[in-house]
């Protein structure tokens, strides 16, 4: 397997806070901050008990909106 090949993300995959942070290359605390209801740029996610989970497709769509300056 070629380690320099880009990582392909399954759009249906459920990601943890740590995986989202790694995907976006930001600290875990930044992801938690974006899950708060008061945040205007809230990252789409949901709670499974005490754990946050994020659909990969939703995170990538959110990232696209951030790049283009769109708001929901």
Neighbours of 61 (CB within 10 A): 14
pTM: 0.79
pLDDT value of residue 41: 82
Q: Kindly tell me if the per-residue pLDDT of 72 is higher than 60.
A: no
Q: Mean of the pLDDT values across residues 19-36?
A: 94
Greater model confidence, 71 or 10: 10
pLDDT at residue 1 tops 80: no
> Could you report the per-residue pLDDT of 33-67, keeping only the tens digit for each?
999 877 678 999 999 999 999 999 999 999 998 88
């Amino acid at each position: 397997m070629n380690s320099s090949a880009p990582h392909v993300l399954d759009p249906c995959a459920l990601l943890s806070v740590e995986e989202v942070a790694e995907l976006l290359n930001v600290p875990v605390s930044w992801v938690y901050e974006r899950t708060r209801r008061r945040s205007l740029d809230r990252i789409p996610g949901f709670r499974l008990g005490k754990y946050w989970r994020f659909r990969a497709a939703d995170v990538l769509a959110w990232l696209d909106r951030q790049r283009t300056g769109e708001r929901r």
